[in-house]
Amino acid sequence: MQRLFAPGSPWAVPWIENTRPAVAALVAALPERTVFTRFIPPEGQGAAPGTWARYYAEWPQMLRGRLDREWLELLPELARHVPPARVIDKPVYSPWHDGRLHRFLRSAGISALAISGGETDICVLATVLGAVDLGYRVVLVSDAVCSSTDRGHDAAMTLYRQRFSQQIEAAPLAEVLESWIAA
């Protein structure tokens, strides 16, 4: 939920505007228990490993060395919660690749995650599958995720609900917030 994916960016996610209020409400409910992961592109083409080099050859304007740093920031209604919310930067889709997020969550005694953000079929997918692999309880906030395409979003939601139904729970924002109040 960064400016990098908001309107005006070459990577704009059309649904982000519809999802922003739900994500903001989720964060506002427990900002001290919120961890944002930000996608941070490499400085230059030479710092992009493997197939990422091919990816950034297609999007050279999105390399950090060419990008206005403001594009890397969280959306304003989310950024206002930092701190107490925390930010962990990541250079790839998955926030688990270097172990920092997992170490932080485990050291804080966290074993369940409510996941929101974008994109349902890219970064959210990488986050959810990594969390499952690491043994977290995963609750996907179904109306607080977005994607660039309806088709990709719908396919990912079908995958979460059907193929991973024993490991991934999907619930709307109101249900998640209600469960937090009851706890």
Question: 3-class DSSP state for residue 32?
Answer: helix
Count the Cβ atoms, other than its own, within 10 Å of residue 141. 25
Per-residue pLDDT at 182 exceeds 90: no
Tell whether the model's pLDDT for residue 43 goes beyond 90. yes
Average pLDDT over residues 94-109: 97
How confident is the model at residue 93, as a pLDDT? 97
- Which tokens sit at 50? 């493997």
* pTM of the predicted protein model: 0.94
CB count within 10 Å of CB 133 equals 10
| Domain annotation for the chain: domains and CATH numbers | 3-40+73-182 (3.40.50.850)
Read off the pLDDT of each residue in 24-45 and give the average, rounded to a whole number: 97
Q: What angle do CA 171, 175, 176 make, to 5 degrees?
A: 75
CA distance 135 to 75: 30
User: What residue ranges in the chain does DSSP mark as E strands?
Assistant: 35-39, 86-90, 112-118, 137-146, 168-171
Per-residue confidence at 166, pLDDT binned at 50, 70, 90? very high
Going by pLDDT thresholds of 50, 70 and 90, the confidence category of residue 135 is very high
Summarize the confidence of residues 120-146 as an average pLDDT. Answer: 97
> What is the pLDDT averaged over residues 24-37?
97
* Residue 14 tokens, joined: 């059309």
pLDDT in tens, 83-93: 999 999 999 99
pLDDT of the residue at 125: 98
Has residue 183 got a pLDDT over 90?
Answer: no
User: 171, 116 in Cβ contact below 8 A?
Assistant: no
Q: Which of 141, 131, 135 is nearest to 180 (CA)?
A: 141
Task: Give the pLDDT band (50/70/90) at residue 161.
Answer: very high
pLDDT at 179 over 90: yes
